[in-house]
């Protein structure tokens, strides 16, 4: 393995109709145009849950609580210059309406349709787990 391990926390926001929120990476970012679960890089001395509470406020303008984040599965993927470790949490309770605050597009997607959205390689193995769980 080359490079370091990067810890990123991600969430499957699940609405009352059982749909999952995906965010499309904006132009100018690595992997621009690909769809992903909301989240971000875990900062030093920050838990994955605290990271998601912060990232959801920054990226989508919604508030949730660590107690509403249920660990579901994780991704472990080797990219060319780093290894990504990404816990995926499920969340069904938050305050506010998710709005794109960082140039990304958003889509509420039925679990059966998740595989039709182009995603980063690390996210793809999460789709069948999430689909089967929902």
Which stretches of the chain drop beneath a pLDDT of 70? 1-2
pLDDT tens digits, 42-61: 999 999 999 999 999 999 99
pLDDT at 29: 84
pLDDT at 52: 97
pLDDT at 72: 95
Q: Which fold has domain 4-133?
A: Nucleoside Triphosphate Pyrophosphohydrolase (3.90.79)
pLDDT at 28: 84
Question: pLDDT exceeding 70 applies to what percent of the chain?
Answer: 99
The values of phi and psi at residue 65, to 5°, are -130, 150
Give the helix/strand (H/E) hosting 73. Answer: strand 70-78
pLDDT at 3: 77
Sequence spans of domains, the chain: 4-133
Name, in order, each residue with C-beta under 8 angstroms of 40's C-beta and a sequence gap of 6 or more. 8, 9, 51, 54, 55, 58, 59
Question: pLDDT exceeding 90 applies to what percent of the chain?
Answer: 88
Between the CA of residue 67 and those of 52, 54, 89, 128, 132, what are the distances in Å?
Answer: 12, 14, 11, 25, 23
Between the CA of residue 49 and those of 10, 31, 71, 86, 94, what are the distances in Å?
Answer: 9, 24, 9, 12, 14
């Amino acid at each position: 393995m080359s490079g370091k391990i990067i810890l990123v926390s991600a969430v499957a926001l699940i609405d009352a109709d059982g749909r999952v929120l995906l965010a499309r990476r904006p132009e100018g970012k690595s992997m621009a145009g690909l769809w992903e679960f909301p989240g971000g890089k875990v900062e030093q001395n920050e838990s994955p849950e605290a990271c998601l509470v912060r990232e959801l406020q920054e990226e989508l303008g919604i508030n949730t609580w660590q107690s509403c984040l249920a660990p579901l599965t994780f991704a472990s993927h080797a990219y060319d210059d780093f290894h990504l470790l990404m816990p995926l949490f499920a969340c069904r309770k938050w305050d506010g309406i998710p709005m794109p605050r960082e140039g990304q597009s958003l889509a509420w997607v039925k679990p059966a349709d998740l595989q039709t959205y182009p995603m980063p390689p690390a996210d793809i193995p999460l789709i069948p787990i999430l689909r089967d769980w929902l």
